[in-house]
Chain A
Amino acid sequence: MELAWYALLGLFFAGYLVLAGYDYGVGLLLAGDADVSRRRAALNAVGPFFLGNEVWLVAAAGILFGAFPVLEGELLAGSYPAVATALVGVILVTAGVQLRSRPGSGGARAAWDRVIVVGSLLAALGWGVVLAGLLQGVPLQADGHVAGVTHLFTPFAAATGLAVVALVVAHGASFLALRLPAVEGDRLRPLARRLLLTAIVAVGTAAVVGLFSDRVRAAAQRPAVGVLLAVLLVAALLAARVALGRRRLGVAFAATATALALPVLLVGATLWPYVLVSTVEPSASLTVADAAASGPTLRLLGWLTVPLLPALLGFQAMCVWIFRGRTDGRAPVYW
């Protein structure tokens, strides 16, 4: 039962990284485009999906609190600066995207666009560091609390944060190549391929830094799985690059989406059966089962929410279906 909830938590967080990942990628790409109408087109390509994307984070946080309360407290408080950074980013993007077109003047829009760029950067960086923080273990004391927050500031965390930034930018570009009108989408393909190369380098660097980090090696319970998934991640990025070259845009997007989901799986599987591995007191490490809420709570949540999952996913699918295909002159413009 704990495993099922852990998987669900992973599903929603990975879903968040995949879906909001392209929001942030599109957001970061605004920095490289001075053309106002292209910027607006890019944001409205995300358009109808935007609100539905970021709530995956809220759902993940809900599951975290409901099904893994102990983990919730220690993970968030123990990674305070990283979580706070990510949150500031999420809020800036939320407000920026929805409000940028509400002022009439171009100057104000340009300012909001900068807000979106900064927000996207902080969000990707912050969540990357949170994931890295899990993988390198935390100073969990015998009393069950994580001591201090300086444990986050390591080369591995920095490299992972940057790798996630590189991943979302590439993902955003592959989304736009798929979604914008054909001419515009085609224009973006070379850029997307270059960004994928950067992402491969960034992910590779983070992986190597991780392999050389004592803390990561000590925390990994199944290093082989971790390495395998990291290799898969790079393979997905390579596949995306090849697919873009052959104009298989759907395949490319699926590949970059996989690349954004994999880090979550990697962290979960490499640490299993633990979720917080202590760097100071081996017996204090927290297993998934210990972190979970007690039986009655999980059963209640199961009865109330699991039957609704098909509805949740169904309405998201409905949104994708209604607004499927490339944007064109008839697509609504609001952001």
Chain B
Amino acid sequence: MDTLLLARLQFAATASVHFLFVAVTLGLVTLLVGMQTAWVVTGNHRWERLTRFWGQLYVINYVLGIATGIVMEFQFGLNWSGLSRYVGNVFGAPLAIETLVAFFLESTFLGMWIFGWHRLRRGVHLALLYGVAITAYASAFWIMVANSWLQNPVGYEVRDGVAHLTDFPALLTNPALGMALGHVLSAALLTGGLLMAAISAWHLNRRTTDHALFRTSLRIGLVTAALAITLVQGFGFAQFGPVGGVQPTKFGGNPEADALIADWTARFGPGDYLPPALSNVGLGFMILIGFALGLLWLLVPLLWRDWIIRLRFPLWLLMLALPLPFVALILGWIAREVGRHPWVAYGLLPVDQAVSPVSPWLMASSLVGFTLLLGTLAVTNWVLLARHAARGAADPALGRRPAQPPADDSRPEPAFA
């Protein structure tokens, strides 16, 4: 067994699961901000119910985002101690900023938001959700700054084999950052919007109660998803230029790539400096999915006079399309991360120098243990999400009045809590 391979597998597994959840977090929180704002501004009860129902799903989904996020953060030190040793001076900074100014506050705000219903003034409660959303976006920004630095190291100089920070603004203007950030953020919005549309479609198709409520969220979800897919495509194509420019080996052979490989061979010794085919296969399928989802625009005119609901088959289309953005998210990350192989930091730190010198057995147990744990939790979480989605908006636990006996409990529990 090979420690390096095991460490890479573990990173891929954790990062994939993490991404599936945080994309939904980011997409849903954006829509929640809109709904709760509408509630506070109009005072309309319907918006409150929408906020509670989608907020409940958001909060359930959030759990796995944090759980996998914590594992990701510690994994750098556990499995990739070379990363912190050689490039930690530069790469660590955006990560530290992310945890302190974003993640820390996001969770603090969210705890207050969950328990603040009926307790805080409406304006304060809404402000907390804005806080959650802003810090969530800040989090995405700093993580992408860190990731883009690995894609294209800038703003550093190497002294005694260790990278030192020389120019922080260069990290923020990294050509690998801008379009990729736009691409990921709109992909998250697409995922959140489509999730909302598909769950609403399920309820409308089943003709469950709350027709009016789910009609509203279907419209919001579909329009959001349609706008987002256009952004995804735009930012996606816009990435080829800058990414191809800084990573000539990523998208297949060209003269620049050959020159770069010759240079690396001279400096780091001979080796296989082209990424595995997997990354370009991932890229291809992601783009296919991107075009397929572009067809969402065809459903938008059907919102007129509720044809989308009356015809029914569009509802089925939405439900069937739901897995697509999730698959594309994974494929996109494979394209981006596997595509920089064999480097942890492109052209600077090869993966085999970054991996921790721990025994393969230890790494294997860690891989199996964490993957099983997070995998089980992820599946459980999705089951819970599906159940709560199916249960409908009658009485979500989120935002329930403290005195009111919960309708979903088999026996009323809170004696005095």
A contact residues vs B (CB 8 Å cutoff): 36-38, 40-41, 44-45, 47-52, 54-59, 61-67, 69-70, 72-77, 80-81, 83-84, 87-88, 90-92, 94-95, 98-99, 101-106, 144-145, 148-149, 181, 184, 293-294, 296-297, 300-301, 304-305, 308, 311-312, 315-316, 318-319, 322-323, 327-334
Contacts and interface: CB of A to CB of B under 8 A. Distances in A.
Q: DSSP majority for the B interface?
A: helix
Identify whether the interface residues of A are mostly helix, strand, loop, or mixed. Answer: helix
B93 A91 contact: no
B84 A334 contact: no
B70 A40 contact: no
A73 B96 contact: no
B377 A95 contact: yes
B99 A61 contact: yes
Given A95-B63, A294-B165, A319-B112, A65 B388 contact: no
Interface of B: 59-60, 62-64, 66-67, 69-71, 73-74, 76-85, 88-90, 92-93, 95-101, 103-105, 107-112, 114-120, 162, 164-166, 168, 356-359, 362, 366, 369-370, 373-374, 377, 380-381, 384, 387-388, 397-398, 400, 402-403, 406, 408-411, 413-417
Given A62-B96, A334-B398, 18 more contacts: A37-B414, A37-B417, A41-B416, A44-B414, A51-B114, A52-B111, A58-B103, A62-B100, A70-B88, A91-B70, A95-B64, A99-B384, A106-B411, A294-B165, A300-B168, A304-B97, A315-B109, A323-B115
A69 B85 contact: yes
A316 B131 CA distance: 13
A72 B70 contact: no
B121 to A, nearest CB: 11
Contacts of A55: 99, 103-104, 107-108
A65 B402 contact: no
B389 to A, nearest CB: 12
Contacts of A296: 89, 164-166, 168
Contacts of B107: 51-52, 54-55, 58
A40 B414 contact: yes
Contact of A331 (B82, B93, B374, B417): B417
Contacts of B104: 55-56, 58-59, 312
Most A Cβ at <10 Å: residue of B93, B370, B374, B406: B93
B99 A59 contact: yes
A80 B398 contact: no
